[in-house]
Amino acid sequence: MTDDESDGGASVPGPDETELVGPGRYPLRIQPAAAIMPGEADARRLLRLWFVRKSFYWIFFSGWTVGSLVAASRHEQPEFDVQNSLTAAWFLVFLALALRFVANWIALGLAFPLALAHEPNLSPRTNVGSGIGKFFDRLHIARAFRSLRWTHHVRQVAQRRLGRRGRQLGKLDPIFDVVNIATGVLAFVALFYAVSRVST
């Protein structure tokens, strides 16, 4: 007995056209170009935000390194100017967190037009509280687009749209990776050094 016969002979209906969000037929495929608004402006904003967001790591690790070295220097040299040094360390940590926070919220705002553009493909809400529900639906869709826009494939599309300028920005990505990893390793080395000096 087949599944259709076990259900009384009724076949499982396929997806309706209104259920297909995005281009193409069922099954859907994620198309990176659909995560960027037409033209160069959105692509340019996306890449700039990406590098601001990626700067979080080296700035944060730099603050961590400074703080660790300050702790070690204070133990070895009591007259060391701790206050100013700690201020610099905390400033770098705060700056990193602030950049990450601001970049994520700006990226969410830039993703909202995409959520609105895809809204006509969604079934309208008719339940109680549909107004606030519609807002949260848009918010969830915008957050999904924000995450999608951070991916390598979408950023490649943005780079191609910007032509030569995009190719130049693409070369910065591995440089940021090296700097982030190097400052991360340096931060852990500084931490172990500070712990060893303080414990002696």
Tell me how many domains the chain contains.
Answer: 1
Please, what is the average pLDDT of the chain?
A: 80
Tell me, yes or no, whether 160 lies in a domain.
yes
Tell me, yes or no, whether 5 lies in a domain.
no
For the chain, the 3-state helix, strand and coil shares in percent, each to the nearest 5, are 75, 0, 25
In tens, the pLDDT along 25-70 reads 445 567 888 899 988 999 999 999 999 999 999 999 999 998 888 8
Tell me, yes or no, whether 158 lies in a domain.
yes
Q: Please, which pLDDT band fits residue 23 given cuts at 50, 70 and 90?
A: very low
For residue 143, with 0-12 CB atoms within 10 Å meaning exposed, 13-18 middle and 19 or more buried, which class applies?
A: middle
Q: Residue 197 and residue 75: Cα distance in Å, rounded? A: 7
AA identity, residue 51? F
Q: Which domain holds residue 164?
A: 36-199
Tell me, yes or no, whether 190 lies in a domain.
yes
Q: Using a pLDDT cut of 70, give the percent of the chain over it.
A: 72
Q: Residue 70 and residue 86: Cα distance in Å, rounded? A: 7
pLDDT at 100: 94
Tell me, yes or no, whether 47 lies in a domain.
yes
In tens, the pLDDT along 143-185 reads 999 999 999 999 999 999 999 999 999 999 999 999 999 999 9
Q: Please, which pLDDT band fits residue 81 given cuts at 50, 70 and 90?
A: low
